[in-house]
């Protein structure tokens, strides 16, 4: 099996009510691949500038992430600045500097094209489409997006969505995309748009996964201190797809477990700023939290 993750590698400047962090490493591809690396050997597709820290490249290598598809370009790494309110679900983008990402037009390595699992993390839908068509015949083409593309590039987004098997979104995004406030109805609308499954991430309220004749609810790990919510969604996708890539046969039970591992990885991501928590995280800790989720919901 193999999993290719396409997305951003970035510097994030993050301000929460408690603290401000300048230019720490982030990006959808970064979070997702680190989370997935606890289950499989993810291949990544993305671009970094000359200022991207060697320390993070070393971390990727240490976590056995395949970085052959990572492009090193002249110039500066993508930079995002965001501000969180007292409610960690409320986020404002303060600044966005595309930098090397502006000219990013990846040609996939031959060894990447046959991937069975693909995750098109949040990037411009046109870029998602350019990359999507380079894969030969993935069993699971998954994608994510943000409200910005739903508002400004809806047609292209719907084109990609139609050709995906799995859509990751949050409650705000799905409501905007479907014009439906009820998540069950909204999810069903997404299924009519193409994907076989949709995972609706609801922050502290967990996630809801829908398919044909399939509904599964997973809680978020109860957490007293959300230090930095950045990357929770991408870590969820990483845990989800990384786990699926590691099993022999994807069935309904494995999909349920994947959603729980998604929630597990998201719960670690928010415990510290940026990717900090993933640096010390161990597989026993991951498995232990999976067991905690069982305890949390079993009756």
Residues that bind a second copy (CB under 8 A): 86-87, 181-185, 188, 202, 204-206, 208, 215-219, 222-226, 253, 256-257, 259-260, 293-294, 296-299
Residues 188, 154: Cα–Cα separation, whole Å: 18
Closest to 75 (Cα-Cα) out of 45, 57, 106, 101: 101
Six token digits for residue 75? 């110039």
What is the Cα–Cα distance from 272 to 40, expressed in whole angstroms?
A: 23
Structure tokens at 166: 């799995």
- 3-state helix, strand, coil split of the chain in percent (to 5) is 40, 25, 35
Rounded least distance, CB 223 to a second copy, Å: 7
Q: Give 57 or 223: the residue with its C-beta nearer to a second copy.
A: 223
CA distances from 67 to 9, 127, 155, 290 (A): 12, 19, 32, 28
The CA distance from 226 to 41, in Å, is 28
Sign (positive/negative) of CA torsion 10, 11, 15, 21?
positive
> Which of 84, 135 has the CB closer to a second copy?
84
The minimum distance between CB 215 and a second copy, in angstroms, equals 5
- 250 CB burial (10 A radius; 0-12, 13-18, 19+): middle
CB 121 → a second copy: shortest distance, Å?
25
- CB nearer to a second copy: pick between 216 and 236: 216
Query: Is the CB of 34 or the CB of 266 nearer to a second copy?
Result: 266
Q: What minimum distance in Å lies between the beta carbon of 256 and a second copy?
A: 4
Nearest distance in Å: CB 184, a second copy? 5
Nearer to a second copy, 187 or 231 (CB): 187
> Which residue is listed with tokens 């993750």?
5
Q: Provide the minimum distance between the beta carbon of 139 and a second copy in the complex, in angstroms, as a whole number.
A: 21
Residues in the chain: 299
Cβ distance to a second copy smaller for residue 5 or 264? 264
The nearer residue to a second copy, 133 or 215, going by C-beta atoms, is 215
In whole angstroms, the minimum distance from the beta carbon of 86 to a second copy comes to 6
């Amino acid at each position: 099996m193999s999993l290719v993750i396409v997305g951003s590698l970035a510097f994030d400047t993050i301000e929460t009510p408690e603290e401000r962090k300048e230019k720490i490493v982030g990006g959808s591809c970064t979070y997702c691949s680190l989370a997935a690396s606890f289950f499989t050997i993810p291949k990544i597709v993305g671009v970094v500038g000359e200022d991207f820290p060697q320390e993070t490249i070393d971390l990727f290598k240490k976590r056995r992430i395949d970085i052959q598809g990572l492009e090193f370009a002249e110039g500066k790494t993508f930079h995002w600045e965001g501000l969180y309110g007292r409610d960690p679900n409320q986020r404002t983008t303060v600044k966005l500097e595309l930098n090397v990402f502006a000219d990013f037009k990846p040609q996939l390595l031959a060894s990447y094209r046959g991937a069975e699992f693909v995750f098109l993390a949040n990037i411009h839908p046109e870029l998602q489409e350019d990359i999507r068509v380079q894969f030969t015949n993935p069993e699971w083409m998954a994608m994510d997006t943000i409200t910005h593309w739903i508002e400004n590039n809806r047609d292209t987004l719907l084109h990609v969505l139609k050709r995906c098997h799995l859509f990751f979104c949050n409650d705000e995004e799905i409501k905007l995309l479907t014009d439906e406030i009820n998540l069950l109805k909204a999810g069903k609308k997404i299924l009519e748009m193409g994907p076989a499954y949709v995972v609706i991430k609801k922050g502290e309220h967990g996630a809801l996964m829908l398919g044909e004749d399939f509904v599964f609810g997973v809680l978020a790990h109860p957490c007293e201190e959300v230090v930095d919510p950045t990357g929770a969604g991408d870590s969820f996708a990483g845990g989800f797809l990384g786990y699926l890539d590691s099993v022999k046969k994807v069935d309904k039970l494995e999909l349920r477990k994947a959603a729980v591992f998604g929630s597990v990885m998201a719960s670690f991501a928010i415990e510290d700023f940026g990717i900090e928590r993933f640096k010390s995280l161990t597989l026993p800790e991951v498995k232990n939290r999976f067991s905690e989720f069982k305890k949390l919901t079993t009756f």
